[in-house]
């Protein structure tokens, strides 16, 4: 085990916050650590050259801060365990299966390992694409189990921190700053490519991952502090949706607005198929919400979005006029990363990896062959193949509970900032699930999705508790000489100036907790 310089810095910061910092400050420390996706805090050469990323290492200090005797956080941790009950079930089952299933089904199925090569040398390209070996227990089963535990700790810590008085503000401001930093490091990775200053970014990309610096038709692929363009765009998409939803709902717009704008520009220029698939899908979701739910898209926000779209059209036309070859090259790159992507060897290999999850699910009779047993390219098939029916059911219930599809605040802005921020977390979590469903190599949903899910649960429950306290407060006694008030009918108002019509359909008014009866007591 080798502690890197990033891990050493984290030790100093983590110990300082453990001694003198608040839970919110420790939570912000975790959020900042998540942006170092291509870094390693600890190197583990004996475990298949694995490494522990900074965000997982930071969670160790968070766990210490929450569980140390005398910290006064055990009640909050208990509430977090109950609220994240389905995630607890998924992780406990997954960790147990990571050690049992590879031995139980050893040699009964051939899979592509999560890390490492099957052969020292391949005889052909097809042999490399379809390379498999018999199922055995590997160090990746252990490391994936550790990552699953980190995901659980992230969800619990997010619930505890977001439920505190200053937790919501810390979450919004920190993610806005992290989003702007993520976009700026992405621009820097392109502008500094091939210059001596590029070494500054390479210092932080010290993880034991395949650090890919690719280009296509002269366009440098944006990586930032992440190992490759797809993981950079995946994390950037999650931050963009959160910042945009907060700006749409008027949550700290001076912070979330610039963050959303910078992240949108970075995603457009990232040359990543993940970004070019995620942006249209999210735009379609926002459009459908605006059509189906009155008030989902405020007028002033629609004007800003229209102005931004018009500016992009003008910029594109200007480039086409003054530099047509650049416009042609950019359109060719977009076509290659989207339409033609499905015909590449990489796409063929990813489809084969994704199908392995279905084969593992059938071969294990729905039990699963254990997290870390094979490499996938989809969170959905990885969960099915690794954890079977139980894992897929518990994780789906956790996502459904955190998203809250029957909540009014999920679909339209509401005045309460806690509910609005919780809805922003829910939509960012949903897009994170969508992105990992076409890119994740393991069944671990990741700390980012767990953090957003925990925050969504905490913020909505905090508003419900406040509403319950307000309703339980005794009403002031009226004087015996005071005549009872008479409810007067409001005067009619003009059609265009009247109050908005009541919500249509099956929308339930806040507060409402979807799946509260499903909590694990």
Coil/strand/helix, residue 93: helix
Cα distances from 300 to residues 243, 295, 304, 420, 485, in angstroms, run 17, 11, 6, 17, 39
Residue 95 tokens read as 């960790």
The encoded tokens of residue 101 equal: 């299933």
Name the maximum alpha-carbon separation found in the chain. 98
Host H or E run for residue 83: helix 74-83
Q: How many CB atoms lie within 10 A of CB 50?
A: 22
Structure-block tokens of residue 446 = 């990741």
- 405 vs 396: CA distance, rounded Å: 13
- Domain residue ranges in the chain: 2-470
Mark the ranges of the chain whose per-residue pLDDT is less than 50: 478-508, 511-521
Contact assessment for residue 452 and residue 429, using Cβ atoms and an 8 Å cutoff: yes
pLDDT of residue 273: 84
Q: How many CA atoms lie less than 13 Å away from 443 in the CB half-sphere?
A: 42
pLDDT at 183: 96
Residues β-bridged to residue 407: 508
Question: What is the pLDDT at residue 168?
Answer: 94
- The span from the CA of 200 to the CA of 185, in Å, is 11
Q: Give pLDDT, residue 510.
A: 56
Contact 30/59 with Cβ under 8 angstroms? yes
The span from the CA of 205 to the CA of 57, in Å, is 16
From CA 148, how far away is CA 444, in angstroms rounded?
6
Please write the tens of the pLDDT for every residue from 186-239.
999 888 887 888 888 888 887 655 555 566 666 778 888 898 888 999 999 999
Beta-ladder partners of 50: 44
CA-closest candidate to residue 436, choices 453, 418, 423: 453
| DSSP codes joined into one string, 357-379 | HHHHHHHTTTS---TTSS--S-H
Contacts of 506 (CB under 8 A, 6+ apart): 406
Of the candidates 409, 370, 362, which has an alpha carbon nearest to the alpha carbon of residue 387?
370
Q: pLDDT tens digits, residue range 281-293?
A: 999 999 999 999 8
Per-residue confidence (pLDDT) for residue 514, from 0 to 100: 41
| DSSP assignment string, 6-55 | HHHHHHHHHHHHHHH--HHHHHHHHHHHTT-TT--SEEETTTTSEEE-HH
**CA 181/CA 80 separation, integer angstroms:** 30
Which of 112, 161, 119 is closest to 138 using CA atoms?
A: 112
How many CB atoms neighbour CB 5 within 10 A?
12
Question: Phi and psi dihedrals of 14, rounded to 5?
Answer: -65, -45
Phi, psi of 506 (to 5 degrees): -100, 25
Q: Which among 287, 243, 286 has a CA at the least distance from the CA of 264?
A: 243
Question: ∠ at Cα 375 (373, 380), nearest 5°?
Answer: 95
Partners of 219 in the β-ladder:
216
Element (H, E) at 216: strand 215-216
C-beta of residue 357 within 8 angstroms of C-beta of residue 376? yes
For the chain, the residue count is 521
Q: Enter the tokens of residue 447.
A: 């700390």
**What pTM does this model have?**
0.86
Backbone angles phi, psi at 175, to 5 degrees: -65, -30
Rg (Cα) of the chain, in Å, rounded?
A: 25
């Amino acid at each position: 085990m080798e502690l890197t310089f990033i891990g050493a810095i984290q030790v100093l910061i983590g110990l300082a916050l453990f001694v003198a910092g608040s839970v919110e400050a420790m939570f912000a420390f975790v959020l900042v650590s998540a942006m170092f996706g291509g870094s390693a805090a600890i190197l583990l050469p004996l475990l298949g050259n694995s490494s522990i990323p900074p965000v997982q290492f930071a969670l160790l200090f968070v766990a210490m801060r929450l569980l140390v005797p005398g910290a006064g956080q055990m009640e909050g941790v208990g509430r977090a365990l109950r609220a994240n009950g389905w995630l607890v079930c998924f992780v406990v089952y997954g960790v147990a299966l990571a050690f049992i299933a590879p031995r139980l089904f050893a040699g009964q199925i051939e899979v592509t390992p999560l890390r490492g090569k099957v052969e020292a040398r391949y005889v052909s390209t097809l042999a490399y694409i379809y390379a498999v070996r018999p199922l055995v227990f590997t160090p990746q089963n252990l490391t994936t189990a550790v990552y699953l535990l980190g995901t659980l700790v992230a969800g619990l810590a997010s619930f505890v921190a977001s439920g505190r008085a200053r937790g919501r503000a810390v979450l919004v401001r920190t993610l806005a700053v992290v989003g702007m930093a993520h976009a700026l490091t992405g621009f820097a990775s392109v502008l500094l490519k091939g210059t001596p200053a590029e070494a500054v970014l390479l210092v932080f990309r010290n993880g034991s991952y395949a650090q890919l610096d690719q280009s296509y038709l002269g366009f440098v692929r944006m990586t930032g502090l992440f190992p490759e363009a797809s993981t950079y765009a995946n994390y950037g998409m999650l931050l963009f949706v959160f910042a945009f939803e907060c700006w749409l709902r008027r949550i700290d717009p001076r912070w979330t607005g610039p963050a959303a704008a910078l992240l949108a520009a970075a995603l457009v220029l990232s040359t990543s198929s993940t970004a070019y698939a995620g942006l249209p899908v999210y735009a379609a979701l926002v459009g459908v919400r605006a059509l189906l739910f009155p008030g989902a898209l405020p007028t002033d926000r629609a004007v800003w979005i229209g102005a931004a779209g018009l500016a992009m059209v003008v910029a594109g036309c200007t480039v086409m006029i003054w530099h047509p070859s650049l416009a042609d090259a950019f359109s060719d790159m977009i076509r290659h990363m989207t339409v033609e992507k499905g015909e590449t060897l990489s796409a063929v290999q990813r489809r084969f990896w994704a199908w392995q999850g279905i084969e593992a699910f059938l071969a294990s009779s729905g039990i699963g062959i254990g997290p870390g047993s094979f490499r996938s390219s989809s969170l959905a098939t990885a969960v099915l193949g690794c954890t079977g029916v139980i894992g897929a059911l518990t994780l789906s219930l956790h996502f459904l509970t955190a998203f809250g599809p029957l909540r009014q605040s999920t679909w339209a802005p509401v005045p309460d900032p806690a509910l609005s921020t919780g809805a922003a977390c829910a939509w960012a979590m949903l897009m994170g699930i969508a992105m990992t469903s076409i890119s994740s190599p393991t069944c671990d949903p990741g700390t980012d999705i767990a953090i957003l899910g925990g925050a969504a649960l905490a913020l909505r429950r905090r508003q419900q508790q406040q509403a319950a306290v307000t309703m339980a407060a005794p009403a002031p006694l009226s004087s015996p000489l005071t005549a009872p008030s008479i409810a007067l009918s409001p005067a009619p108002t003009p059609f265009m100036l009247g109050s908005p019509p009541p919500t249509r359909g099956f929308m339930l008014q806040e507060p409402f907790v979807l799946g509260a009866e499903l909590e694990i007591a």
